[in-house]
Structure 1
Amino acid sequence: MIEFLKENWLVIIIVLNYLLTISAVITIFYRNLNPTKTLTYIIVLVFFPFLGLLIYYLFGQEYRKTKIFNRKNILNKQIIKELNSQLNLDNKALEDLEDHFLNEKIRLVKLIQNNDKTPLTLYNKVKILKNGENKFKKLFEDINAAKHHIHLEYYILKDDTIGTELLNLLCKKAKLGIEVRLSVDDVGASISGDMKQKIIDSGIEFYAFMPVLYPKFTSRMNYRNHRKIVVIDGNIGYLGGINIADDYVNAPDKNKYWRDTHIRIEGEAVITLQIQFLINWEFVSNSKINIIANYFPKKPCKAKLAIQIAASGPDTDWPNILDALFSAITSAKKYIYITTPYFIPNDEIIMALQIASRSGVDVRLLIPNESDSWTAKYATNSYLQRLFDADIKIYRYTKGFLHAKTLVVDGIISTIGTSNMDYRSFSINFEINAFFYDKKTSENLKDIFIEDLKNSIEMSLEIWKNRSNLEKLKEAYCKLWAPLL
């Protein structure tokens, strides 16, 4: 028997591989995924022995709605129920808002509110922060002024120059008795052991989201926390595309320009942002947090600006951000302006954009000229022909790397957040976006989009058609991996 195993070990391993492959394929069929994703996984499993199983293990496992992400205890707290009850508008209030200016777009408000019990907040003040240097200047001012607590949740946090400055400031505040809680994604973040020890010694509560053994080798692993959230004293909130790293700051001596967008919020929407932070904190810390009134201070905002904070991820019943983006696109009458670093959408988003453009809506897409990911770049390119077919205008940002994630519809609805226009953001990672129902904010975001076009080139259909066969081959190859990117 031992001799047989020695002589036929390779055959045995191959047979075992395909037995596991057959089991995985059957599982995929039962999960009833969309045909594109199903076919992608089957091709990988069948034609890439061993490697295919590894890829399926890392990317194909479906944990949505399972116990690993069953994080609803915070929502059951009495104080949270009362806050949501106070914020939720009745039908009369929604009708008044509809009559005011939203018209049929009120369905987007109801969609997000029903799906994730995300209340529409009416009294808020918002500042759009263009690029990291503006964000960090304001953020550091607010942290310095913090009186009770500072809550931070980030995908990427590096202890480089800007990261060390932030962490040192947090340590200083913690030593002064301010409650500081910090959560980072274990794959996205890069913090030295010495700095981690300093953080803990200063009194900061620090946890990594879903720790992995080898973060450097798992950058595309599923179910990462892609959110960027800050809540200070329950009164001020931050969210958007800007992580904590020197890459995001345009210093005078920096060679590569980084174009990004973030927001600072004061008002009722901070309550929802705080709740989302606390839900995640209870998960990463694996402990029940004591919810106190100081996390939700009653500091009324007089400015009227309607905002909904939409969160999505494996712990939500519906892909809330995807649903909201789809609804916003299909509601457009005049224009749709999209800025995204990665455009790897599903068929529903592509079709919605095509129909909008063919119906006379001015649809424009702004993407980077140079991507930070070879596969993402060519996967994005593989979708552009379908946009050209519907006369959608496509622009490439040439001043530097474009990382902003924004959408504006008709100068009425707009969004800024962490979600890219790709499969990963729509259905795999944890994301969070702010949706604004406000003409001034939406017009402001439109003006920023138009300003960015001055540093962009419009893609020519004729030049696009004449690209090399090698480029087309790269696109076809990367499109096969699109559901995994």
Structure 2
Amino acid sequence: MIEFLQSHWWTIAITLNYILALIAVVTILFKSINPTKTLTYIIVLLVFPFFGLIVYYLFGQEYRKNKIFNKKDILNNELIQSIEDKLEIKPEALTFYEAEAEEDQIRLVQLLQKNDKSPLTQYNDVEIIINGENKFEKLFKDIESAKQHIHVEYYILKDDKIGTRFLELLLKKADQGVQVKLSYDDVGSKISSKMKRRLTQSSIEHHPFMPVLFPKFTGKMNYRDHRKIVIIDGEIGYVGGINVSDTYVNYPENKKYWRDTHLRITGEAVFTLQVQFLTNWNFVSDKKIELNQTYFPKNKTETITPIQIAASGPDTDWANIMEAIFFSIVTAEKYVYIATPYFIPNDQIITAMQVASKSGVDVRILIPDKSDSWIAQHATNSYLEQLFDANVKVYRYKKGFTHAKTMVIDDVFTTIGTCNMDYRSFNINFEINALIYSKEQALKAKQMYLNDLDNSLCMDYDQWKNRGKLERLKEAYCRLWAPLL
């Protein structure tokens, strides 16, 4: 028997692989998931022995998601129900907006309110912040002024130069009696054991989001918390694309210029950010949170800037941010200006951009000239011809790497947040965006976008279509993996 196993081990192994692969294929076929994603998994399982099973085990199975996030959804609903009466959001916000806005904008507001308990907030001040160095200057100043609580949730939090300054400041405020809660993604973040001990020894509560055994080797593990949120005293909120890492700050010694966008918000929209933080905290801390009236103080902002906070993730019934982006593109009348570091879209977004452009809307997209991922770069390139065919203008940012995740439409609507234009952001990770219905802010975002185009190159379709066959082969290969990236 042993001799038979030794002499036929490869045949046995490959047979066992394909038995398991076929079981996995049948399981996938019975799931109601995107056909493109289904086909990708089937090809990977059948064409790549052993490796395909590993990919499916890490990314394809839903049992972990269903078990964990059904619980999270229950916790979310319980917490939201318990704090709804504490929200100081004016009931007339939508009524006011209906009198001022176009019909399509009102429908977008209603879409999110029905999908994700995302109320339209009316009284807000908002500041668009360009680049990490400017964000951290303002953030540190606000944290220094904190009197009651600081709530922090980041995908990437490292105790490098800027991260250490950030964490030291939190430790200082905790010593002063300010309540600090810190949530960080276990895959994206890297905090030393020494710093974690210091956080534990202080009064700072800190928890990783969905810990993994080997975070260094799971950079694309599913269901990560990709959000970047800070809330200070329930009055000031930060949200956008900038994580806590030296990469995001343009220090003189950095090799690459990093272009990014963030928001500083005061007013009623901060309450919605607070709710999103608390629902996540309820999950990561695994204990019932004690609600405090100071989390939802009386709003002091009198400026009218309508804002909705849209959140999406594996625990939401709908792809809220993707649906908002899709609807706003197909209802645009003049222009759609998109900036994203990763453009690996689903069919809905591609179709929306094509339809808008072919109907006369000026559709532009700004992507990095060189991505920080080889496979993401070629996967992005595989979608460009579909855009060129519909006369969408594609710009490559040449000054450095653009990580901004923004969209501005028709001088009336802007969204800034954490969501990339890719499968992972739309369907897998936890994301959060601010949707701003303001001409003033839209014009600022538009000018910011046009300034970035000054540092970009508009791609020429005639040159692009003459690229070599090897490049096309790379694109085709990487596109095969698009639903998994």
Conserved? CA contact 2:344–2:482, under 8 Å: yes
Matches within 5 A, 1:112-131: 112-131=112-131
Q: CA deviation at 1:303?
A: 0.7
Instruction: Return the letter of the residue paired with 1:356.
Output: A
Q: Does 1:212 align with 2:212?
A: yes
Runs in 1 of length 4+ with deviation above 4 angstroms? none
Q: CA deviation at 1:57?
A: 1.0
Residue 30 of structure 2 aligns to a residue whose secondary structure is: helix
Instruction: Return the letter of the residue paired with 1:312.
Output: S
Q: Which residue does 1:279 correspond to in 2? A: 279
Measured in 1, the distance between the counterparts of 2:132 and 2:392 equals 30
Measured in 2, the distance between the counterparts of 1:222 and 1:253 equals 33
Q: Which residue does 1:73 correspond to in 2? A: 75
Q: After the TM superposition, which of the residue ranges 429-438 and 249-258 deviates more from structure 2?
A: 249-258
Conserved? CA contact 1:65–1:316, under 8 Å: no
Measured in 1, the distance between the counterparts of 2:94 and 2:304 equals 15
Matches within 5 A, 1:38-437: 38-62=38-62, 66-69=66-69, 70-71=71-72, 72-77=74-79, 79-83=82-86, 87=89, 89=91, 94=94, 96-437=96-437
Instruction: Return the letter of the residue paired with 1:28.
Output: I
Residue 371 of structure 1 aligns to a residue whose secondary structure is: coil
Q: CA deviation at 1:15?
A: 1.9
Instruction: Return the letter of the residue paired with 1:376.
Output: A
Q: Deviation string for 1:71-90 (max 9, x for gaps)?
A: 23354345512145x63746
Task: Give the % identical residues.
Answer: 61
Q: Which residue does 1:24 correspond to in 2? A: 24
Q: CA deviation at 1:103?
A: 2.8
Measured in 1, the distance between the counterparts of 2:105 and 2:64 equals 29
Measured in 1, the distance between the counterparts of 2:155 and 2:327 equals 27
Q: Deviation string for 1:171-213 (max 9, x for gaps)?
A: 1111121111111111100111111111111221111111111
Instruction: Return the letter of the residue paired with 1:426.
Output: F
Measured in 1, the distance between the counterparts of 2:388 and 2:308 equals 33
Q: Which residue does 1:447 correspond to in 2? A: 447
Q: CA deviation at 1:3?
A: 4.2
Q: Which residue does 2:36 correspond to in 1? A: 36
Q: Deviation string for 1:117-144 (max 9, x for gaps)?
A: 1111001000111000000000000111
Measured in 2, the distance between the counterparts of 1:7 and 1:436 equals 67
TM-score for both structures, normalised by structure 1: 0.97
Q: CA deviation at 1:65?
A: 7.1
Instruction: Return the letter of the residue paired with 2:78.
Output: N
Measured in 2, the distance between the counterparts of 1:258 and 1:65 equals 34
Residue 119 of structure 2 aligns to a residue whose secondary structure is: coil
Question: Please, which runs of 5 or more residues in structure 2 have no aligned partner?
Answer: none
Question: Please, which runs of 5 or more residues in structure 1 have no aligned partner?
Answer: none
Q: CA deviation at 1:108?
A: 0.5
Measured in 2, the distance between the counterparts of 1:180 and 1:10 equals 56
Conserved? CA contact 1:89–1:119, under 8 Å: no
Residue 415 of structure 1 aligns to a residue whose secondary structure is: strand
Q: CA deviation at 1:63?
A: 5.1
Instruction: Return the letter of the residue paired with 2:75.
Output: N
Conserved? CA contact 2:157–2:189, under 8 Å: yes
Q: CA deviation at 1:13?
A: 2.2
Conserved? CA contact 1:98–1:104, under 8 Å: no
Conserved? CA contact 1:162–1:246, under 8 Å: yes
Measured in 2, the distance between the counterparts of 1:83 and 1:428 equals 31
CA 402–63 in structure 1, closer or farther in 2 if over 3 Å, else same = farther
Instruction: Return the letter of the residue paired with 2:89.
Output: L
Q: CA deviation at 1:253?
A: 3.3
Q: CA deviation at 1:16?
A: 1.8
Q: Deviation string for 1:413-468 (max 9, x for gaps)?
A: 11000000000000000000000011101111001000000000100011101111
Measured in 1, the distance between the counterparts of 2:91 and 2:475 equals 47
Q: CA deviation at 1:331?
A: 1.1
Number of aligned positions between the proteins: 482
CA RMSD of aligned residues (A): 1.5
Q: Deviation string for 1:304-351 (max 9, x for gaps)?
A: 100000000001010100011001111100000000001100111101
Conserved? CA contact 2:45–2:53, under 8 Å: yes
Instruction: Return the letter of the residue paired with 1:350.
Output: I
Q: CA deviation at 1:251?
A: 1.7
Residue 364 of structure 1 aligns to a residue whose secondary structure is: strand
Q: CA deviation at 1:18?
A: 1.3
